[in-house]
A and B are shown apart, each in its own frame.
Chain A
């Protein structure tokens, strides 16, 4: 049960209760699955790190929930808000989620369920460039979270940069909050024709076109084939950015650089899935590094399901459909035929859309020897290149030798970038390894020790 703030009831929940379904993540996929399963009579617990349900898409201010049906049915499930799940374990006939409740004063909470659904979502991928660590530079999702969850604009004059359709709602959201948005700088070149040719889902194309119109109405220029290649400080924070034209591989076209004065940069190059918990359980993954699921959203481990962005970046509608499908499978029911058809259509569209916004190989050329790759441990590109020249030819070795990826975020912000820098130095492709994080999120030693035998 939840009160109106969405805050969960906390630690007295369910240590001895065996739920029919435990869901990790109260975003689109997780909550859709949870309330659908609850509608079938299942006893469901949903653990979520945020104070309010809705995930990134339906992030909202405390008294302003969006009109989204599953939110209105939140009371049908046990919603455990501000519960950070740091480990999941698989037993003979059930799963156990270990969480810490409360950001400030942790309470160890253990929740057990016959089935487990991972709906852990994704976060903005970053491509490091000089100055990306300045205050005033935000991830695109971070800028949006400030607006949607807090009603706070990140600054006064903003540039939105990166790649992918997500940049558009971020720019429109900033503009509507009174921020002067100087430009949307899209590194790819998704021509209107290419967008029109994206397979299926005319609705999404119309949506994209709708954002184009929205940008035009707000007089926000939309540049393609360009990137923010550097951010510059004014005092201790962001004062301007350098925008430059890119060629097809994302090399900077010399002489095209120009500086834009701004106090805010919202930047994101697509999304990286949260895979820590899936990695702990050891379920199979797809060749491109997402959780592998079948048409029922089932993984290769009996009783373990996954839905939403951690199974492939596909957007809001697809996440919700996947969540509903998972609930049908978990409840042992046959979904209405329209549902799998809808998912197939949305999946094809997502694949087509992703192909329009690929990350090209030359982005490491935007940085220099001093550009931080690992923000937490302050490891610059030059030190990673040095280690690579001394024989470290995989991300783990780089980590052991340079500490890149060893800090607070445990490589979430830098592991992919480190792999790209390595590829750049060694001249051959290096993949970022799947994360192995036995402690999925930091936990205070005292919280970990609770329940020790």
Chain B
């Protein structure tokens, strides 16, 4: 391994969020070193579907972040051709009139916030998704929703000039200067001085923050994804049940699961999405896999005959209020956080990276960081 060299910025974590922070900081002229104890995209990024969604977000700070991110992803995809970017659009479907009414109300509120949402009645649904179950009563089409292959996207962003990547390096502590300022990191491969350190360790960000004596309430929320055999195009959009947005926001510890189905450029169909709070339990649950399969077939009956080749598991990093933590931490000057994006890390990564870069260069962020402040949990913890 090449020598660790002092840099303007050290980013902890080579997932998609860390990659985006490194990328935009480097583009702002800073020298960046990215450290990861594992490989690139070895954590939640590599276990994600790569969703870039506005459809599942109601008006609020996360939606603002998502809209900025969507623009940045499109721009990144134009600059670089080394990752799959598919602006395929999302389709939310309702199976009851009550679901349809709730879906319509959400769409109306989103339209007031730069989100394009087209109501699709049952008769026109086959034009969008020919294989969709006829039991669906209504849909909403979100043309802004898109998808990237997350591992390729992370690797692509890390290839920017000015970014040095060291995998297999664990951060074991922080170097503190006068006034307890963070001036670098201790690692398994020696100390590394830096002007600032960004904690982008995803689901493990709480552990990293603890090394600086700081509490960050980031916990894992387990999810499974089923992957089918390569198929001819069956599913055109990201299609999901209206109940999904409710699952995302739910605070249930128990299993929440609703169908999320989408095709990929390689022909496989990805099927999610389950959410369980079971800590870092690595086991696979047969009942959850069965339920995901049943829910996908409910939306697309034709999938019953398709083979599932594999399943994978990830741990989404979530905060109690389901918002990420982005920005400088006044409890440890010199340390910034970019973590806690739950299941939206890929979607929110570029905006997070840009906002971190703006903060590092002393510019005004494009989105107000207050809702994402690392200290907002203080009273909860107290």
**Partner-B contacts on A (CB < 8 A):** 87, 89, 98, 280, 282, 377, 390-394, 396-397, 400-401, 403, 406-408, 410, 437-439, 442-446, 448-453
Contacts and interface: CB of A to CB of B under 8 A. Distances in A.
Given A280-B284, A408-B229, A443 B155 contact: no
A396 B310 CA distance: 14
Interface in B156-174: 158-159, 165, 167-168
B161 to A, nearest CB: 14
B296 A445 contact: yes
B33 to A, nearest CB: 13
Interface in B293-310: 293-294, 296-297, 303-310
B212 interface: no
Interface of B: 39-42, 46, 151-152, 155, 158-159, 165, 167-168, 224, 226-230, 266, 271, 283-284, 286-287, 289-291, 293-294, 296-297, 303-313
Contact of A448 (B42, B227, B290, B312): B290
B42 A397 contact: yes
B308 A391 contact: no
Given A401-B152, A452-B291, A437 B310 contact: yes
Contact of B297 (A396, A408, A446): A446
A451 B291 CA distance: 9
Q: List the 5 closest A-B pairs by CB distance, nearest first.
A: A446-B304, A400-B151, A452-B294, A438-B284, A452-B290
B152 A449 contact: no
A444 B291 contact: no
Contacts of B307: 442-445
12 contacts: A89-B286, A390-B155, A391-B40, A393-B39, A406-B266, A407-B230, A442-B307, A443-B307, A444-B304, A444-B305, A445-B226, A449-B290
A408 B309 contact: yes
Given A390-B155, A403-B266, A397 B40 contact: yes
A407 B290 contact: no
A448 to B, nearest CB: 4
B39 A410 contact: no
Contacts of B293: 445-446, 448-449, 452
A446 B155 contact: no
Nearest to B38: A394
Given A396-B42, A437-B310, A446-B303, 11 more contacts: A397-B42, A397-B151, A438-B224, A438-B311, A442-B307, A444-B306, A445-B296, A445-B304, A452-B287, A452-B291, A453-B290
Nearest to A402: B152
B290 A391 contact: no
Given A397-B39, A445-B296, A87 B284 contact: yes
A449 B39 contact: no
B298 to A, nearest CB: 9
Contacts of A393: 39, 167-168
Nearest to A110: B286
Contacts of B306: 444-445
Most buried by A among B42, B168, B284, B303: B284
